[in-house]
């Protein structure tokens, strides 16, 4: 008998078929799954994008490298901006922007987006930027961040966006690796009523990024920042007098496989991986998935509450929605500033009908209480989405009930920086959804679950998620590191993409994601995923959030350590500890009972809301803490360490 790669023992029986009225008008109808792979992507490629020269070959697959829409020439900014203006949609709002300081708002139309993008593109040309010139972008959530990306794409300059919460070292690593010649940043950003010193951080980073010769600085807060003469330019001064007529800066015809951007993602080594995404395949993939999965309509107001600095922002705030001519919402600040109902105020103000956010944000709102949402009219919402990590069934239920009014479909999506586009997701007019399941692969996506030996795991079994066929938005490699690309994604199973995530497929053929393979715990020979234990804990009515990791144990190999935040700021107790251990035993089985539970008011999260489990592993193993520079609040992990030490002393 072979030991399963990952055991799965949590069950979920709730089912939600699509509402009949939603299904009747949905963009995706059942026959979408009957379309052949080639016909589906050929049609989407020709109809979803506008081409300067049509493609002559759909794709070429020479593992581990793919090319898509060969022979075609197009331009991303033309597809996202210019063609909409040419079609008479210039007055349509591209972004409703909400600054963090209350009352600071702006509507940016497609015509304005075209003018501002053209002016900046012309200004960048004066700095020597042209086709192939690498540009770095280090900004907050302001419309100019999208404008900077589109200006680069307009003239064929590949960009790398670095999340505004990253440190100087993280920024310099990325600028240096891509050999960026220009950096676009801003004086400061707003966060929770205080300022984040982006320009000062950029100056520090530039000491280790010698390729950068020019810096463009957007004035956001207006506070004084250092400016280096000859190198640094104020955005507003640089674009002054530059023409905004698109004819003054025509969109550069780009080959389908020309590099659009690099996005760096952390790896097992200290050096971040530069994930390469190219032009046409990526744009077709994100626009197609955005259209069908979010069921966008011509009058939709769509809000992806992520940051532009992450791949979710690239694909589903900027490129996918704009390609489809969709009105979006951009919000600069945090969900709880100045009050915990800020998001719901925004939904009400702009009559948002589609909301896409992360499970960590949903669990934060659960912890604060549904009464904040109840202050506002959320009846405009007709679809909810989840992204970033597997969602606990109870968080999924809370989201649907308290935000969606118990009537909206919820699309829980699985994808990665590397995949570029959503790969597994319900189609809201077709799929019967299940709390916690990403359900079915998107049409044309061939996903499976393998065991350690590369055998496909049948229904009910757990293992490793793989993708067996190329897709348009897939990464085209790791920048300047072919060997690392092949080793990371293609060495485990040969010509099959190894996602690095655990998954299982149920009796209906639906996928359940189990988190990163690195987060699987080996307890007495049982390989248990952290997400299942976390879901069992969050199922308890008094638990707001939970994070789980393994620590070395002489008897069982690894023991389960749980970090738990209770609702309403409640403190933990010995009685609650035992109650939670027994609750997990009832939901999953005695093997999954946590050996230790640490009660904490907050969990360590990045600025994007992801729980940093590696730091929790450091605490559990009593090791020196790893890099904490991306934490939203570095003090949280110190408090957890103190609590864990105190509880260990009491034992």
443 and 532 together in one domain: no
426 and 528 together in one domain: no
Give the domain CATH number at 433. Answer: 3.40.50.12780
Are 256 and 280 in contact by the 8 Å Cβ rule? The answer is: yes
> Phi first, then psi: what are they for 159, rounded to 5°?
-125, 160
Does 398 reside within a domain?
yes
Nearest C-alpha neighbor of 641 from the set 609, 610, 615 = 615
Nearest C-alpha neighbor of 623 from the set 551, 549, 523 = 551
The length of the chain in residues reads 651
With a cut of 60, say whether residue 257 has pLDDT above it: yes
328 and 423 together in one domain: yes
291 and 405 together in one domain: yes
542 and 435 together in one domain: no
What three-state secondary structure class fits 149? Answer: helix
Are 605 and 611 in contact by the 8 Å Cβ rule? The answer is: yes
124 and 268 together in one domain: yes
Mean pLDDT of 604-628: 80
Confidence label for 587 from pLDDT (cuts 50, 70 and 90): confident
* E runs forming strands in 473-510: 497-505
Neighbours of 39 (CB within 10 A): 12
Neighbours of 312 (CB within 10 A): 23
Please give the share of the chain, as a percent, with pLDDT higher than 70.
96
Supply the DSSP string of 75-140, one letter for each residue: -HHIIIIIHHIIIIITTSEEEEEE-SSTT-EEEEEHHHHHHHHHHHHHHHHHTT--TT--EEEE--
With a cut of 70, say whether residue 648 has pLDDT above it: no
User: 187 exposed, middle or buried (CB, 10 Å; 0-12, 13-18, 19+)?
Assistant: buried
Q: Which residues of 529-547 are buried (b: 16+ CB within 10 A; e: fewer)?
A: bbbbbbbbbbbbeebbbbb
Based on C-alpha coordinates, what's the Rg of the chain?
A: 24
What pLDDT is recorded for position 608? 63
Confidence label for 37 from pLDDT (cuts 50, 70 and 90): very high
Which segments of 491-572 does DSSP mark as H helices, in order? 530-538
Give the span between the Cα atoms of 79 and 154, in whole angstroms: 10
- Residue 28, token pair as written in the block: 């995706």
Give the span between the Cα atoms of 368 and 341, in whole angstroms: 9
Q: Which of 450, 480, 515 is at the close of a domain?
A: 450
Give the span between the Cα atoms of 462 and 576, in whole angstroms: 31
* E runs forming strands in 146-196: 159-161, 182-186, 189-191, 194-196
pLDDT tens, residue by residue, 90-136: 999 999 999 999 899 999 999 999 999 999 999 999 999 999 999 99
Does 4 reside within a domain?
no
Are 332 and 142 in contact by the 8 Å Cβ rule? The answer is: yes
Give the domain CATH number at 626. Answer: 3.30.300.30
Give the span between the Cα atoms of 287 and 473, in whole angstroms: 10
Does 283 reside within a domain?
yes
Domain extent, residue 444, equals 20-450
pLDDT tens, residue by residue, 331-354: 999 999 999 999 999 999 999 999
What pLDDT is recorded for position 531? 81
Confidence label for 271 from pLDDT (cuts 50, 70 and 90): confident
How do 462-467 and 447-450 pair as beta strands? Answer: antiparallel
What pLDDT is recorded for position 569? 83
Does 313 reside within a domain?
yes
194 and 310 together in one domain: yes
Confidence label for 1 from pLDDT (cuts 50, 70 and 90): very low
Does 499 reside within a domain?
no
Confidence label for 644 from pLDDT (cuts 50, 70 and 90): confident
Mean pLDDT of 268-288: 89
Question: Helix count (H) and strand count (E) of the chain?
Answer: 21, 29
The average confidence (pLDDT) of the chain is 92
32 and 160 together in one domain: yes
How do 159-161 and 259-265 pair as beta strands? Answer: parallel
What pLDDT is recorded for position 176? 96
Residue where the block lists tokens 């690796």: 177
Q: Is the dihedral of CA 318, 162, 502, 458 positive or negative?
A: positive
Give the span between the Cα atoms of 478 and 482, in whole angstroms: 6
pLDDT tens, residue by residue, 212-251: 999 999 999 999 999 999 999 999 999 999 999 999 999 9
530 and 446 together in one domain: no
Confidence label for 311 from pLDDT (cuts 50, 70 and 90): very high
Q: Which of 401, 427, 450 is at the close of a domain?
A: 450
What pLDDT is recorded for position 554? 77
What pLDDT is recorded for position 356? 98
What pLDDT is recorded for position 267? 54
What pLDDT is recorded for position 430? 98
User: Using the 8-state DSSP alphabet, how is residue 647 labeled?
Assistant: H
Does 464 reside within a domain?
no
Are 424 and 447 in contact by the 8 Å Cβ rule? The answer is: yes
- pTM (two decimals): 0.88
Looking at the 3D structure of the chain, how many domains does it have? 2
Q: Is the dihedral of CA 31, 33, 39, 42 positive or negative?
A: positive
Least confident piece of the model among 14-23, 209-218, 223-232, 546-555? 546-555
Confidence label for 514 from pLDDT (cuts 50, 70 and 90): confident
190 and 280 together in one domain: yes
What pLDDT is recorded for position 621? 86
Does 550 reside within a domain?
yes
With a cut of 50, say whether residue 542 has pLDDT above it: yes
Q: Which of 419, 450, 481 is at the close of a domain?
A: 450
Neighbours of 167 (CB within 10 A): 15
305 and 186 together in one domain: yes
401 and 289 together in one domain: yes
pLDDT tens, residue by residue, 383-434: 999 998 889 899 999 999 999 999 999 999 999 999 999 999 999 999 999 9
With a cut of 60, say whether residue 650 has pLDDT above it: no
Nearest C-alpha neighbor of 140 from the set 109, 104, 180 = 104
Give the span between the Cα atoms of 648 and 559, in whole angstroms: 14
Give the span between the Cα atoms of 466 and 72, in whole angstroms: 29
- Residue 66, token pair as written in the block: 């793919």
Does 170 reside within a domain?
yes
- Residue 249, token pair as written in the block: 């800066």
């Amino acid at each position: 008998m072979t030991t399963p790669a990952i055991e799965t023992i949590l069950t979920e029986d709730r089912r939600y078929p699509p509402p009949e009225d939603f299904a009747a008008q949905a963009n995706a109808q059942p026959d979408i799954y009957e379309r052949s792979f080639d016909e589906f992507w050929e049609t989407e490629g020709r109809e979803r994008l506008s081409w300067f020269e049509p493609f002559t070959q759909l794709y070429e697959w020479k593992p581990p490298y793919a090319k898509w829409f060969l022979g075609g020439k197009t331009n991303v900014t033309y597809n996202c901006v210019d063609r909409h203006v040419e079609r008479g949609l210039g007055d349509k709002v591209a972004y409703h922007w909400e600054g963090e300081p209350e009352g600071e708002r702006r509507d940016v139309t497609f015509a304005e987006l075209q003018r501002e993008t053209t002016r900046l593109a012309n200004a960048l040309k004066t700095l020597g930027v042209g086709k192939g010139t690498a540009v770095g972008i280090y900004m907050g959530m302001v419309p100019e961040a999208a404008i900077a990306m589109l200006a680069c794409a307009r003239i064929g300059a590949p960009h790398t966006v670095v999340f505004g919460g990253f440190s100087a070292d993280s920024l310099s690593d990325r600028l240096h690796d891509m050999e960026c010649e220009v950096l676009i940043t801003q004086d400061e950003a707003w966060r929770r009523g205080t300022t984040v010193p982006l320009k000062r951080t950029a100056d520090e980073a530039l000491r280790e990024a010698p390729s950068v010769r020019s810096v463009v600085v957007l004035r956001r807060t207006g506070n004084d920042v250092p400016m280096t003469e000859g190198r640094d330019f104020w955005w507003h001064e640089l674009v002054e007098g530059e023409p905004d007529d698109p004819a003054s800066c025509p969109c550069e015809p780009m080959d389908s496989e020309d590099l659009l951007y690099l996005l760096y993602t952390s790896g097992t080594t200290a050096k971040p991986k530069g994930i390469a995404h190219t032009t046409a395949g990526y744009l077709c993939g994100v626009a197609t998935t955005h259209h069908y999965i979010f069921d966008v309509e011509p009058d939709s107001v769509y809000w992806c509450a992520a940051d532009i600095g992450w791949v979710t922002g690239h694909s589903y705030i900027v490129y996918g929605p704009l390609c489809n001519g969709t009105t979006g919402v951009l919000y600069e600040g945090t969900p709880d500033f100045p009050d915990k109902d800020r998001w719901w105020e925004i939904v009400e103000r702009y009559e948002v009908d589609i909301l896409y956010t992360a499970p960590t944000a949903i669990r934060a709102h659960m912890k604060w209480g549904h009464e904040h949402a109840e202050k506002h009219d959320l009846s405009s919402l007709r679809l909810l989405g989840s992204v970033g990590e597997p969602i606990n069934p109870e968080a999924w239920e809370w989201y649907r009930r308290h935000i969606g009014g118990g009537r909206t479909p919820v699309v829980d999506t699985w994808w990665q920086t590397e995949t570029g586009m959503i790969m597994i997701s319900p189609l809201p007019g077709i799929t019967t959804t299940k709390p916690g399941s990403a359900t079915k692969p998107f049409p044309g996506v061939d996903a499976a679950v393998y065991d350690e030996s590369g055998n496909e795991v049948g229904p009910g079994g757990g293992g490793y998620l793989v993708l067996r066929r190329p897709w348009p938005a897939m990464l085209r490699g790791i920048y300047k590191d072919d060997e690392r690309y092949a080793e990371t994604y293609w060495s485990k199973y040969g010509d099959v993409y190894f996602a690095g995530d655990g998954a299982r497929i149920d009796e209906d053929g639906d996928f359940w994601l189990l988190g990163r393979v690195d987060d699987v715990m080996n307890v007495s020979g049982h390989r248990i995923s952290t997400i299942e234990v976390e879901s069992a804990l969050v199922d308890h009515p008094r638990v707001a959030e939970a994070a789980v990791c393994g620590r070395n144990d002489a008897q069982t190999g690894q023991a389960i350590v749980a970090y738990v935040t209770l609702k309403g700021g409640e403190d933990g107790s010995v009685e609650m500890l035992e109650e939670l251990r027994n609750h997990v035993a009832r939901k999953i089985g005695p093997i999954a009972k946590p050996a230790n539970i640490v009660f904490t008011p907050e969990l360590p999260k990045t600025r994007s809301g992801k729980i940093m489990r590696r730091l929790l592993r450091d605490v559990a193993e009593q090791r020196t803490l790893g890099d904490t520079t991306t934490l939203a609040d570095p003090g949280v992990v110190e408090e957890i360490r103190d609590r864990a030490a105190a509880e260990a002393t009491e034992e």
